Structure 1
Amino acid sequence: MKLTDFKFDTEDFNVPDEPVQPRDAAKLMVLNREDQSIKHETFADIHKYLDEGDVLIYNNTKVFPARLKGKKEKTDADIEVFLLRELVPENMLWDVLVEPARKIRIGNKLYFGPNLMAEVIDNTTSRGRTIRFLFEGSNEELYHILDNIGEMPLPPYIEREAREEDKEQYQTIFAKERGSVAAPFAAMHFTEELVEKLEDKGVEMLPITMHIGWGTFRPCEVEDLTKHRTDSENYYISEETSSKINEALADEDRKVVGCGTTSVRTIETSITASGISKPGTGWTDKFIFPPYDFKITEGVITNFHRPESTMLMLGAAFAGYDFLMEAYEEAQEKDYRFFAFGDSILIL
Structure 2
Amino acid sequence: MTDPKKLAIKDFVYDLPEERIAKFPLPERDQSQLLLYRHGQIADHTFTELPQLLPPHTLLVFNDTKVVQARLLMQKETGGLVEIFCLEPVAPHREVQLAMQQTGCSTWKCLVGNNKRWKSGPVKLYFEGGMLQAEREAQQEGHFLIRFTWEPAGLTFAEVLERCGRLPLPPYLNRDLTPDDHTRYQTIYANQKGAVAAPTAGLHFTDRVMEALKAQSIDTAYLTLHVGAGTFKPVKADTMEAHEMHAEQLYITRSVLERLLQQQGDPVIPVGTTSMRSLESIYWLGAKVLAHPDLPLQELHVSQWQAYESINPPAAAEALQALLQFMDNMNTDHLHASTQIIIAPGYTFRMCQGLVTNFHQPESTLLLLVSALIGENWRNVYQHALAHDYRFLSYGDSSLLLP
If the TM-score is normalised by the length of the shorter chain, which range does it land in?
over 0.9
> 2:233 maps to which residue?
218
Whether the 8 Å CA contact 2:184–2:203 is kept in 1: the answer is no
Distance 1:21 1:155, change over 3 A: same
Deviations 1:193-251 (A, max 9, x none): 111110222211100100011110011111211332111100012212122212222x3
Instruction: Choose which of 56, 61, 65 in structure 1 pairs with 2:60.
Output: 56
Instruction: Choose which of 234, 250, 263 in structure 1 pairs with 2:249.
Output: 234
Aligned length, in residue pairs: 339
Note if 1:68 corresponds to 2:64. no
> 1:163 maps to which residue?
178
Instruction: Choose which of 177, 198, 203 in structure 2 pairs with 1:183.
Output: 198
Instruction: State the shift of 1:319 in Å.
Output: 1.1
Whether the 8 Å CA contact 2:132–2:151 is kept in 1: the answer is no
Deviations 1:155-175 (A, max 9, x none): 111121012332212100110
Distance 1:65 1:56, change over 3 A: same
Structure 2 counterpart SS, 1:40: strand
Q: Which structure dedicates a bigger proportion of its chain to helix?
A: 2
Whether the 8 Å CA contact 1:98–1:104 is kept in 2: the answer is no
Q: Distance in 1 between the 2:400 and 2:154 partners?
A: 40
Distance 1:248 1:13, change over 3 A: farther
Instruction: State the shift of 1:52 in Å.
Output: 4.6
Deviations 1:255-300 (A, max 9, x none): 0001111100111011133323346320000011112110110011
Deviations 1:171-195 (A, max 9, x none): 0011000000100010111001111
**RMSD (Å), alpha carbons:** 1.7
Structure 2 counterpart SS, 1:113: strand
> 2:169 maps to which residue?
154
Gaps of 5+ in 1: none
> Which amino acid in the other structure matches residue 380 of structure 2?
E
> 2:134 maps to which residue?
118
Distance 1:101 1:49, change over 3 A: same
> 1:101 maps to which residue?
115
> 2:305 maps to which residue?
none
Whether the 8 Å CA contact 2:370–2:378 is kept in 1: the answer is yes
Instruction: Choose which of 197, 204, 208 in structure 1 pairs with 2:223.
Output: 208
Q: How does 1:273-288 map to 2 (within 5 A)?
A: 273=287, 274-276=314-316, 277=320, 278=323, 280-288=335-343
Distance 1:289 1:13, change over 3 A: farther
Deviations 1:104-127 (A, max 9, x none): 36x62011126221222111235x
Flag as ranges the 4+ runs of structure 1 deviating above 6 A. none
Gaps of 5+ in 2: 1-6, 92-98, 288-313, 325-334
Q: Distance in 1 between the 2:240 and 2:146 partners?
A: 33
